[in-house]
Amino acid sequence: MSLSAAVAWVLLFLAAAYAVVLYNGLVRLKHGVSKAWSNIDVLLRQRHDELPKLVETCKQYMQHERSTLEQVIRARTAVSDAREQGNVGALGQAETGLRAGLGRLFALAESYPELRANESFRHLQQRISGLESGIADRRELYNESVNLNNVRIEQFPDVLLARAFGFRAAPLLQFSEAEKADVDLKPLFS
């Protein structure tokens, strides 16, 4: 074997090894996005299971606030549908509606001392608030995983392998501007 043939084989081996390293990195990022989504999904399911208990507890005390309770249930259904379909955009919109409904529900609960004193309500309120914090944390991790994935599949030379093997950009989980705005509680107490 000539020296030039040996060099060619070594270069070919190094190029193949480099391609394998790039491919494995892309796979790791893709699965990181899936894992981050699964972490959000677990918390969304837990909250989904807790919301009917909260609404049922509130119904016993809040007879005049039926529209708020119904809004929370509709929003819960929309979140569940978007989650089951894996539709990140629809999930962001549904989450905005659900968080607004929960904010109104908890604000209205202040007008019902018997409800606030109810142990079940307090436990559910704390549980849901804890889940909301967890979802916010997981959303941040998910979006970071998505960003790492999306940047990497657009960078050279990764883009060559990403296109060849069908790696796709993942959508960010974003909420509407209304979700980020301060809540106006004055109309709830007028």
Q: How confident is the model at residue 9 (pLDDT cuts 50, 70, 90)?
A: very high
Q: In this predicted structure, which of 23-27, 110-114, 174-178, 181-185 has the lowest mean pLDDT?
A: 181-185
Mean per-residue pLDDT for 112-131?
87
From 3.30.70.1230, 1.20.1440.20, 3.20.20.70, 1.10.579.10, which CATH number describes the 3-189 domain? 1.20.1440.20
Torsion of CA 179, 181, 185, 186, to 10 degrees: -140
Residue 108 is encoded by which pair of tokens? Answer: 């209205």
Mean per-residue pLDDT for 158-162?
92
Q: State residue 61's pLDDT score.
A: 78
Q: How confident is the model at residue 183 (pLDDT cuts 50, 70, 90)?
A: very low
Q: Which of 171, 144, 157 is nearest to 26 (CA)?
A: 157
Contact status, residue 129 vs residue 51, Cβ threshold 8 Å: no
Q: In this predicted structure, which of 8-12, 36-40, 64-68, 167-171 has the lowest mean pLDDT?
A: 64-68
Q: What does the pLDDT look like over 47-92, one tens digit per residue?
A: 999 998 888 888 877 777 788 888 889 999 999 999 999 888 889 8
* pLDDT for 181 beyond 90: no
pTM metric for this prediction: 0.75
Q: Please state, rounded to an integer, the average pLDDT across all residues of the chain.
A: 87
> What's at 123, amino acid-wise?
H
Instruction: Please list the alpha-helical segments (H only) found in the chain.
Output: 3-59, 66-85, 88-109, 113-117, 119-152, 158-164, 177-180
* pLDDT for 184 beyond 60: no
Query: What ranges do the domains of the chain cover?
Result: 3-189
* For the ranges 66-80, 104-118, 154-168, the one whose mean pLDDT is highest: 154-168
Mean per-residue pLDDT for 86-103?
88
* For the ranges 49-63, 95-109, 144-158, the one whose mean pLDDT is highest: 144-158
Q: State residue 21's pLDDT score.
A: 94
Mean per-residue pLDDT for 130-159?
93
Q: In this predicted structure, which of 7-21, 29-43, 66-80 has the lowest mean pLDDT?
A: 66-80
> Taking the alpha carbons of 153, 159, 163, 164 in that order, is the dihedral positive or negative?
negative
